[in-house]
Each structure stands twice: as structure tokens, then as C-alpha cells.
């Protein structure tokens, strides 16, 4: 940059003469510059190369999951879609049976998991001729949807879709011992009608406390004639055996590619990666496995699972899901009867290439692995399994018996109920009692339902045990009418888990399922806990948490426990721990009912009545939260009836008013249930 000022000794030039000279020079310079640029532009500029007209490249979108079931149905020529909300696999099984039925009527069906599709497409289903949507919906817990139907339920509550062209039918799976019997089936049926859909057959209500299989068959045998009448079609023939999967035997296979019990990702048990869930369980080490009871025929046990480094988080009241394994002796006996090498590596591949379900269980695998980890071999098989197996009985009388039990005739239903259900015959017992029955093992594996995870109320608090989950369980073992001894799959398997043992003997595949069974937000709120037997499990977590809160200096309200067992010196679970909590002032009241220590049976509801005035004061004045855990069939119902009586007496209410009072407590989350049948 030049200096902007001039020194004082320089005289200024003549300004007029300088301006005249400057303008002429500027004009010349500008003219020369413009002329030069024009010359360059016209003669020396490099011509722009012509760009050839290339065809446009098509943009290929990243592959996405096809979430339109309507498009899939159009592509594969289907008329009927059967959605299932399933927690234990039964609703899925029923959905598969209904979709297979369709071919008898000149229709084609497909079973579908609502979690995999966009259900708003239901409004487009009428684009397909003779289309129908069927919903097999199980109710889980206290009126909740199953995990795979949660999104569908949430969407249905908010939906303002027009389903005026949709035809539907619903079969619900529930249990009458629960307060909200078949809540999910009832809701879906009612809500679809509200949105304008046309119900073509009445809502079916299956009761697992009775005979769920018979309920389904009875509904199904009336459902299809209604479908025929609605669409003007007729049955094309008798029910026939149609294989859904084809067998592929692997004679030369890399064993690193073979499933050995994993639920989802191959080698997931060797290379564990969070997050852990139903399809990716965590292998937890058993660090403690001790017997809780001092006597009696039963075996009650306390297990502790190490969840260190798993990133698994849980709250008091949650459930732990455990994937068990079948008894190896049962597996071996099935292999012997069928004359099969159980270590044969095979795959069962879906014959329907468009199906999302490529295999009935992880494949390739061995028959031994399938029968041990993937298939349910201990529950009585359903009628559709018996029907498919009948063709393999070489004795005509045994074949006729199997066909009769799988029929919808009254005598067939009665025979199935007595010979299979009430006698608790599993597939092994049926094979043993029908010597001529020898089905191909691959067809048997196709027919048997999946072995399901077992849920247990967590018996610990993560505030006290952040790296450990505790389980309290009783082993199931009983003699059947045939003289056989049946054992619970999961509890027998857990009983054999050695703490910190070598290899898989101490490992348990597990994950946590969140629950609504929660302590009050305010620690000062009183709690009344009622849990006989292993129903005490979640309350051990609750009490541990209240003790921890007290140690943190928080105000902790009254903590009251009503516990019950058979005999004081036989099966009083966690006796020392409860006494210590009471001594520390955490457990402010402990009431224990010993049902068999005296001539007259004494249960928890009797102790509630004995302390009814205190109960009413805690509930009505103290805004206490009530928690009930254990048997749904008798205990939970009796306890609820006792609360009706207490409310009616001290609240000066009629029976209907008392019932309404307790129902409102439930609605507000002040009366919670964690029960099973």
C-alpha cells in the first residue's frame, strides 16, 4: 500500500492541466481494454465442448421393509389376512390354522404379525376381491395388549380412519380368572366397528382357564360357514394335510453356520451385544441357587442372576423372562421312538417364498437342538397336530382315534378333553401310547409349537442390587392320570443350575420385561402388599427399595405385608430377611397366615378381615396403594371380595358402590395386580 499523504515540501501541480491529461489517458485505456476483450471473445476463446445427451441414471432407493400387507396380498393372490397378538405363541398358532383353512373355500390366507406391517392399510383391503381381516388377539396381564400388538393398540386408539369397506372377525384369547377377561379382543372388535368396518362373524372369546382349544374349534366351525355365506363360496373339499415347510438335510455344512440354541442372531451367545430383549437374550451367570423351604414335598428356590456389564436396567416390580431347555431324556426318547439320528443337521424352509417367516425356528440346526431349545414337547398337543399325525398311524383304530379327537363332533371333543388334556399327555406320551404312530421327525418339528420364555416377578430392587436379578420360584412336578410324572420345563431346568459352575450349566438366557406393577411415586405413601407363597417375590424388591429410601434419609410411609404359606416351619419364605426388615422399622406391619398349622384353614384374606379397620384407615385416609401378587384363580379373587366387604362396611356403601370404589382405585393405579393362573 502507498502512503496516502505527501510531504509538506512538495508543491501541488497545476490542477486544471493535470485533469485534462488524465481523462484522455483514461479514455484511451478503457477503449483499448474493451477492444482487446472483444477480440479475445470472438477469435481466441476456446469453444465450449458439446456435452453428449446421456440417458439419466435411475436413482435406486435403499431397500426398505415392505410394510404394506395389502400390496403383498395382491402380489401373492391372497384374500384373507389373519393378524395375531401373541405373547406365548398360541394366538400365532391359531392364526396359522385359520390361514391354512382358507384353501378349502377357494380362498388364500396369510398369517401376519401386526408389528411388521402398517395397519393403516386396513382401509385399502377392500381393493382385494372377497377380502377379510381376522384378528386373533390375546390379552396379556391385566388387560394389556401383547408386546407385538402394542403399536397396533396405540394406533387404533388414536386412529380416525374410514374402515367402511373393511370386513373383519375377531377371536380373543383370555383367561376368566383375570379381572379384564379378553380385554384386547373385545376392544379390537368394538373399535373396528366404531371406525366403520363390517363384522361378518361374532366375537369369539377363548378361555384358557377352561378349554381354549375347544373354544377355538367351536368358534372356527361356525366362522367358516359365515364366511361362505357372506362371499357366496363353498367348501372345495375336506380338510387336508398341507406341508408348510420342506426339509433340507445338510450333509456337508460348516458347523459355525449352525444354530445351537440362539433365539435370533447366529453365535449371539458367544458374542453378546446389547440391547438384550426377546430376540437377543443375555446369558446371565447363576451366582446363587438355594432352597428356601425347610421341609415338605415341594422345592422352593431363590436364584440370583448376574447381569454385570449387560447394560440391563430394571425396576422393582418388573418381570424377568427366562428361556429354558427341555429335559434331555425326553428328547432322547422321542428320537428313539422315531428311529432318528438327532444330530442330523437340517433346515425347514417355507414353501411360500413370499412369507416373512422363512423357518419355524432358527435354521440350520440339529433335531436335537430343535427339540431341546425351540419346540414345546411337554404340553398336550392341540387338535390340529393330532389331525396331521393321524396319517402316520398304521393301526386303523389308532388312526381313527386321532381323527376323532381332532374333529369338531361332541364325542371327539370329549375324547380329546379326557384322553389328552385332563390326562396331560404330551407328544412323547402320545407316541408311547400309540405304538403304530411313527411320523417323520421333520413333520413333527413343523407341527409342534415354539417353546416359550417363562416370566417371573423379580424378587430384588435395582437400587440395592444393580448388577443382580433375583428369582423366587417353586418347582412344578405332579403325577398324571396315566401314572407318569410330569415336570415343569423351566423350574426343573432352573433347579439344576449350579452357581458359578463350569460352562453352560450355570448360564441362563434372559431379558427383562417392563411392568406397571410399581411402587408409589412418593415414598411417604403407605403400601399394603398381599402375596402368599412365591407371590412374595416382587414385595422383596419393594421392601428392599423402601429400606434403601429410608437409608437415603427419605420419609417412608407405612409398609404393610400380608404373607401366607402352608406351615411356619416348612415353607415360610425369606423368614430371616423379613424379620430383619421389621426389626429395622422398614416393614411396619407383618401378618403371616399359616394355612395348615391348625384345624381350620387360614388364608391372607382372613387376616385382612381381622385387621379391616386398619386397612380402611390406610386406604381411605392414608391414600395407601394396594398390591396383590400370586394365584389369580382363588387368592386374588378372594382378596378383592374382602376389600369390597371392608369398603362397604367402613365406607357405609352398598355392594355396587363398594365395587365401584375398588374399581376406581384400580383405574387410579392404587390397586395393582401381578397374578397368574
Last residue of a domain, one of 452, 473, 490: 452
Q: For the segment 434-480, what is each residue's pLDDT rounded down to a tens digit?
A: 999 999 999 999 999 999 999 999 999 999 999 999 999 999 999 99
402: domain CATH number is 1.20.990.10
Joined grid coordinates for residue 597:
398349622
C-alpha to C-alpha distance for 335 and 354, rounded to whole angstroms: 32
601: domain CATH number is 3.40.50.80
Whether residue 563 is annotated as binding a ligand: the answer is: no
Whether residue 104 is annotated as binding a ligand: the answer is: no
Whether residue 604 is annotated as binding a ligand: the answer is: yes
**Residue 402 covered by a domain:** yes
Name the domain count of the chain: 4
Instruction: Supply the residues annotated as catalytic.
Output: 457, 629, 674, 676
Whether residue 456 is annotated as binding a ligand: the answer is: yes
Whether residue 416 is annotated as binding a ligand: the answer is: no
Whether residue 638 is annotated as binding a ligand: the answer is: yes
Instruction: Tell which residue, 346, 343, 362, has the closest CA to residue 263.
Output: 362
Q: By the 8 A CB rule, do 616 and 646 touch?
A: yes
Instruction: Tell which residue, 561, 590, 551, has the closest CA to residue 464.
Output: 551
For residue 240, the model assigns a pLDDT of 63
Residue spans of beta strands (DSSP E) within 579-670: 589-594, 625-631
Which residues, listed in sequence order, are joined to residue 627 by a DSSP beta bridge? 529, 672
Please spell the DSSP secondary structure of 582-640, one letter per residue.
Answer: HHTTSS-EEEEEETTSSSS---HHHHHHHTHHHHHIIIIIT--EEEEEEEIIIIIHHHH
For residue 37, the model assigns a pLDDT of 55
**Residue 521 covered by a domain:** no
C-alpha to C-alpha distance for 167 and 297, rounded to whole angstroms: 54
Q: For the segment 61-94, what is each residue's pLDDT rounded down to a tens digit?
A: 323 345 799 999 999 999 999 999 999 899 999 9
C-alpha to C-alpha distance for 315 and 273, rounded to whole angstroms: 22
Q: Are residues 227 and 311 located together in one domain of the fold?
A: no
Q: Are residues 87 and 225 located together in one domain of the fold?
A: yes
- pTM for the full predicted model: 0.86
C-alpha to C-alpha distance for 415 and 400, rounded to whole angstroms: 12
**Residue 17 covered by a domain:** no
**Residue 478 covered by a domain:** yes
Last residue of a domain, one of 231, 263, 287: 231
Q: Are residues 222 and 80 located together in one domain of the fold?
A: yes
Contacts of residue 74, Cβ cutoff 8 Å, sequence gap at least 6: 127, 128
For residue 27, the model assigns a pLDDT of 52
Whether residue 641 is annotated as binding a ligand: the answer is: no
Q: Are residues 503 and 577 located together in one domain of the fold?
A: no
**Residue 376 covered by a domain:** yes
Q: Are residues 315 and 459 located together in one domain of the fold?
A: yes
For residue 31, the model assigns a pLDDT of 55
Whether residue 183 is annotated as binding a ligand: the answer is: no
Which residues, listed in sequence order, are joined to residue 305 by a DSSP beta bridge? 286, 469
Whether residue 431 is annotated as binding a ligand: the answer is: no
184: domain CATH number is 3.40.50.360
**Residue 505 covered by a domain:** yes
C-alpha to C-alpha distance for 641 and 606, rounded to whole angstroms: 11
| Other Cβ atoms within 10 Å of 111 Cβ, number | 24
Strands of 527-530's sheet in order across: 589-594, 559-565, 527-530, 625-631, 671-676
Domain that includes residue 96, residue range: 69-231
Q: By the 8 A CB rule, do 117 and 167 touch?
A: no
Cis bond upstream, residue 364 (ω within 30): yes
Whether residue 314 is annotated as binding a ligand: the answer is: no
**Residue 122 covered by a domain:** yes
Whether residue 605 is annotated as binding a ligand: the answer is: yes
Whether residue 490 is annotated as binding a ligand: the answer is: yes
Place of cell 390406610: 618
Whether residue 213 is annotated as binding a ligand: the answer is: no
For residue 163, the model assigns a pLDDT of 95
Q: Are residues 469 and 411 located together in one domain of the fold?
A: no
- Mean pLDDT, contiguous 10-residue spans, the chain (677 residues): 37 37 46 54 42 33 58 94 94 94 90 93 94 96 90 93 95 92 96 97 94 93 95 77 90 94 95 95 96 92 97 97 98 98 97 87 98 97 95 97 94 96 97 98 97 96 98 96 96 92 79 95 98 97 98 97 95 96 97 93 96 97 97 93 98 97 95 91
For residue 500, the model assigns a pLDDT of 73
Q: Are residues 552 and 668 located together in one domain of the fold?
A: yes
Q: Are residues 198 and 75 located together in one domain of the fold?
A: yes
What's CA 134's distance to the chain center, in Å? Answer: 20
505: domain CATH number is 2.40.30.10
**Residue 160 covered by a domain:** yes
Q: Are strands 132-140 and 144-145 parallel, antiparallel or unpaired?
A: antiparallel
Whether residue 139 is annotated as binding a ligand: the answer is: yes
Joined grid coordinates for residue 515:
411392568
For residue 505, the model assigns a pLDDT of 78
Q: Are residues 533 and 646 located together in one domain of the fold?
A: yes
For residue 5, the model assigns a pLDDT of 36
Whether residue 150 is annotated as binding a ligand: the answer is: no
| Other Cβ atoms within 10 Å of 233 Cβ, number | 16
C-alpha to C-alpha distance for 209 and 186, rounded to whole angstroms: 18
Joined grid coordinates for residue 636:
386374588
Q: By the 8 A CB rule, do 259 and 363 touch?
A: yes
For residue 67, the model assigns a pLDDT of 79
Q: Are residues 414 and 311 located together in one domain of the fold?
A: no
Instruction: Tell which residue, 339, 336, 337, 334, has the closest CA to residue 370.
Output: 334
Whether residue 182 is annotated as binding a ligand: the answer is: yes
C-alpha to C-alpha distance for 536 and 674, rounded to whole angstroms: 11
Q: By the 8 A CB rule, do 616 and 663 touch?
A: no
Whether residue 90 is annotated as binding a ligand: the answer is: yes
Q: Are residues 609 and 640 located together in one domain of the fold?
A: yes
Q: Are residues 81 and 187 located together in one domain of the fold?
A: yes
Joined grid coordinates for residue 254:
460348516
Contacts of residue 583, Cβ cutoff 8 Å, sequence gap at least 6: none
Amino acid at each position: 500500500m502507498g502512503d496516502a499523504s505527501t510531504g509538506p515540501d512538495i508543491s501541488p501541480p497545476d490542477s486544471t492541466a493535470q485533469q485534462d491529461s488524465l481523462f484522455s489517458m483514461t479514455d484511451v485505456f478503457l477503449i483499448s481494454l474493451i477492444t482487446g476483450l472483444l477480440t479475445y471473445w470472438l477469435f481466441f476463446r476456446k469453444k465450449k465442448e458439446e456435452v453428449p445427451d446421456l440417458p439419466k441414471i435411475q436413482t435406486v432407493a435403499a431397500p426398505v421393509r415392505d410394510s404394506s400387507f395389502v400390496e403383498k396380498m395382491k402380489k401373492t393372490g391372497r384374500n384373507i389376512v389373519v393378524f395375531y397378538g401373541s405373547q406365548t405363541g398360541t394366538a400365532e398358532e391359531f392364526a396359522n390354522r385359520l390361514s391354512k383353512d382358507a384353501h378349502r373355500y377357494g380362498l388364500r390366507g396369510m398369517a401376519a404379525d401386526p408389528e411388521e406391517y402398517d395397519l393403516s392399510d386396513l382401509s385399502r383391503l377392500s381393493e382385494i376381491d372377497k377380502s377379510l381381516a381376522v384378528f386373533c388377539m390375546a390379552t396379556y396381564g391385566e388387560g394389556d395388549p401383547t408386546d407385538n400388538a402394542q403399536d397396533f393398540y396405540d394406533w387404533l386408539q388414536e386412529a380416525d380412519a374410514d374402515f367402511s369397506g373393511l370386513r373383519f372377525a375377531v377371536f380373543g384369547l383370555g383367561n376368566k380368572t383375570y379381572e379384564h377377561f379378553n380385554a384386547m379382543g373385545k376392544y379390537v372388535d368394538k373399535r373396528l366397528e366404531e371406525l366403520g368396518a363390517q363384522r361378518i362373524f361374532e366375537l369369539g372369546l377363548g378361555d384358557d382357564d377352561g378349554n381354549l382349544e375347544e373354544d377355538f374349534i367351536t368358534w372356527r366351525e361356525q366362522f367358516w360357514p359365515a364366511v361362505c355365506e357372506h362371499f357366496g363360496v363353498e367348501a372345495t373339499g375336506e380338510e387336508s394335510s398341507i406341508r408348510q415347510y420342506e426339509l433340507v438335510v445338510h450333509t456337508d455344512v460348516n458347523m459355525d453356520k449352525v444354530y445351537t440354541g440362539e433365539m435370533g442372531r447366529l453365535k449371539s451367545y458367544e458374542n453378546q451385544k446389547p440391547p438384550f430383549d426377546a430376540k437377543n437374550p443375555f446369558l446371565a451367570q447363576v451366582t446363587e441357587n438355594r432352597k428356601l423351604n425347610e421341609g415338605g414335598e415341594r422345592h422352593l428356590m431363590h436364584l440370583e442372576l448376574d447381569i454385570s456389564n449387560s447394560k440391563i436396567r430394571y425396576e422393582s416390580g418388573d418381570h424377568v423372562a427366562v428361556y429354558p431347555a427341555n429335559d434331555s431324556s425326553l428328547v432322547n426318547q422321542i428320537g428313539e421312538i422315531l428311529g432318528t439320528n438327532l444330530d442330523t443337521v437340517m433346515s425347514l424352509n417355507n414353501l411360500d417364498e413370499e412369507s416373512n417367516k422363512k423357518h419355524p425356528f432358527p435354521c440350520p440346526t440339529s433335531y436335537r437342538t430343535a427339540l431341546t431349545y425351540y419346540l414345546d414337547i411337554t404340553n398336550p398337543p392341540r387338535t390340529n397336530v393330532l389331525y396331521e399325525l393321524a396319517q402316520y398311524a398304521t393301526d386303523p383304530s389308532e388312526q381313527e382315534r386321532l381323527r376323532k379327537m381332532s374333529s369338531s363332533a361332541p364325542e371327539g371333543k370329549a375324547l380329546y378333553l379326557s384322553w389328552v388334556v385332563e390326562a396331560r399327555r404330551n407328544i412323547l406320551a402320545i407316541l408311547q401310547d400309540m405304538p403304530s404312530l411313527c411320523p417323520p421327525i421333520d413333520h413333527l418339528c413343523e407341527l409342534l409349537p415354539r417353546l416359550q420364555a417363562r416370566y417371573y416377578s423379580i424378587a430384588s430392587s435395582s437400587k440395592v442390587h444393580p448388577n443382580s436379578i433375583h428369582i423366587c420360584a417353586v418347582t412344578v412336578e405332579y403325577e398324571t392320570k396315566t401314572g407318569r410324572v410330569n415336570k415343569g420345563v423351566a423350574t426343573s431346568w432352573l433347579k439344576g443350575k449350579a452357581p458359578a459352575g463350569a460352562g453352560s450349566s450355570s448360564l441362563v438366557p434372559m431379558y427383562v420385561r417392563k411392568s406397571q406393577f410399581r411402587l408409589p411415586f412418593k415414598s411417604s405413601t403407605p403400601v399394603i402388599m398381599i402375596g402368599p407363597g412365591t407371590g412374595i417375590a416382587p414385595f422383596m424388591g419393594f421392601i428392599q427399595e423402601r429400606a434403601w429410601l429410608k437409608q437415603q434419609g427419605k420419609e417412608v410411609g407405612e409398609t404393610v405385608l400380608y404373607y401366607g404359606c402352608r406351615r411356619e416351619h416348612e415353607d415360610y419364605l425369606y423368614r430371616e430377611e423379613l424379620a430383619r426388615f421389621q426389626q429395622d422399622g422398614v416393614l411396619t406391619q407383618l401378618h403371616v397366615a399359616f394355612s395348615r398349622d391348625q384345624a381350620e384353614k387360614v388364608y391372607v384374606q382372613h387376616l385382612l378381615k381381622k385387621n379391616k379397620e386398619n386397612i380402611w384407615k390406610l386406604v381411605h385416609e392414608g391414600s395407601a396403594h394396594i398390591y396383590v401378587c400370586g394365584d389369580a384363580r382363588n387368592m386374588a379373587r378372594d382378596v378383592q371380595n374382602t376389600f369390597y366387604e371392608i369398603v362397604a362396611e367402613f365406607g357405609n356403601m352398598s355392594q355396587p358402590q363398594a365395587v365401584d370404589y375398588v374399581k376406581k382405585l384400580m383405574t387410579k393405579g392404587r390397586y395393582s395386580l401381578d397374578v397368574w393362573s
